[in-house]
Amino acid sequence: MRVLVTGANGMLGRRVVEAFSAAHEVIATTRVSGDGIEALDVTDGAAIGESFRRIRPDVVVNCAAFTDVDGAESEGDAAYRLNAVAPGNLAWGCREVGAALFHISTDYVFDGEKGAAYDEWDAPRPLSVYGRSKLGGERAVVESGARFWIGRVQWLYDERTPNFATRILDLSCRHPILRVVDDQIGCPTHARHAAEQVQRIVESGRYGLYHMSSRGETSWWGFTRALLDAEGRRDYIVEKVTTDAFPRPAVRPRNAVLRNRALELTIGDAMPAWEAGVEEFTRSRQEMNS
């Protein structure tokens, strides 16, 4: 299988390239070429068509995205161009060459007011420009008529790239106390686990919409506490605060935990508990620093 990955220099994109490379031919792409990665501007429909006709991929995995949630509030055009228009460009390009598209989406398409975990049959209601732009991308993929998978992820992190987990641990080394939000609930998901689930879904051939979250739930405070405890820093003080203590431009869903019901009912849910991701993250960091 020939798999083309967009956004291949990002956290999830790199993991997707690794996941597929063991058994498939992978073409890694990003906006600017370098280090064995081809250039592909996903906002340019003509460039996508030319690239796809030349490469003839069987599957395209779209990891390219505008991920600055707060920045999207002031850069709406850029967010919609990358999160809503580009997935449509890719879907139409796939349709032209007979490829299938796997598009990565987010829990931010929900408002977090359900009071229970969201499954794939719950109606989206995004609260932010970022969430609306990502929902726009989902709809563009569905409306294209291409064969597709949509995989929603949440609270992605790993030890290789800057993200909440790496930043919070860096801050803990420079400050005696941290104050972390405890009233936003989700599920931290290690990027490697999400990437391997993408591969598993693609190889199943079962098209559709899937949630790909790790199992369980916690708050940002709980996630922080688990990261510190895993490093043996159980005495470090982390104070619980509310969202109101840290005003941000974009509204976050208070509880957007995802349930992987579509996986449960089809090929089976292979995603581990979120605590397993923390263990892997900690072990890998220790190996990197040894």
pLDDT (tens, 9 = 90+) of the chain, 290 residues, equals: 999 999 999 999 999 999 999 999 999 999 887 777 889 999 999 999 999 999 999 999 999 999 999 999 999 999 999 999 999 999 999 999 999 999 999 999 999 999 999 999 999 999 999 999 999 999 999 999 999 999 999 999 999 999 999 999 999 999 999 999 999 999 999 999 999 999 999 999 999 999 999 999 999 999 999 999 999 999 999 999 999 998 999 999 999 999 999 999 999 999 999 999 999 999 999 988 87
CA angle 14–18–19, rounded 5-degree value: 115
pLDDT at 290: 77
For 214, the token pair is 């790790």
Distance CA 144, CA 213 (A): 26
Give buried/exposed letters for 263-279 (b at 16+ CB in 10 A, else e).
Answer: beeebebebbebeebbe
pLDDT at 288: 87
- Domains present along the chain, CATH in parentheses: 2-221+244-289 (3.40.50.720)
CA atoms within 13 A on the CB side of 59: 25
At 281, which helix (H) or strand (E)? Answer: helix 274-289
- Cα–Cα distance list, 142 to 84, 147, 202 (Å): 12, 9, 17
Which residues are CB-contacts of 115 (< 8 A; sequence separation ≥ 6)? 255
Instruction: Answer yes or no: are the C-beta atoms of 159 and 284 closer than 8 Å.
Output: yes
Give the global pTM. 0.95
Which residues are CB-contacts of 156 (< 8 A; sequence separation ≥ 6)? 11, 12, 163, 189, 190, 191, 194
Distance CA 265, CA 262 (A): 5
Residue 61: closest CA among 196, 156, 154: 196
The catalytically annotated residue of 108, 118, 130, 210 is 130
Distance CA 212, CA 200 (A): 11
Residue 73: closest CA among 138, 155, 132: 132
Task: Point out which residues pair with 178 in neighbouring strands.
Answer: 238
For 150, the token pair is 């949509």
Residue 284: closest CA among 223, 193, 217: 193
pLDDT at 32: 81
Instruction: State how far Cα 263 lies from the chain centre.
Output: 17
pLDDT at 31: 85
Q: According to DSSP H, which parts of 9-128 are helical?
A: 11-21, 45-55, 71-74, 76-80, 86-97
Told to judge if 130 belongs to the known catalytic residues of this protein, a careful annotator would answer yes
Secondary structure class of 211 (helix, strand, coil): strand
Residue 224: closest CA among 283, 284, 157: 157
Which residues are CB-contacts of 20 (< 8 A; sequence separation ≥ 6)? 1, 3, 5, 26, 61, 199
pLDDT at 37: 85
pLDDT at 103: 98
Which residues are CB-contacts of 50 (< 8 A; sequence separation ≥ 6)? none
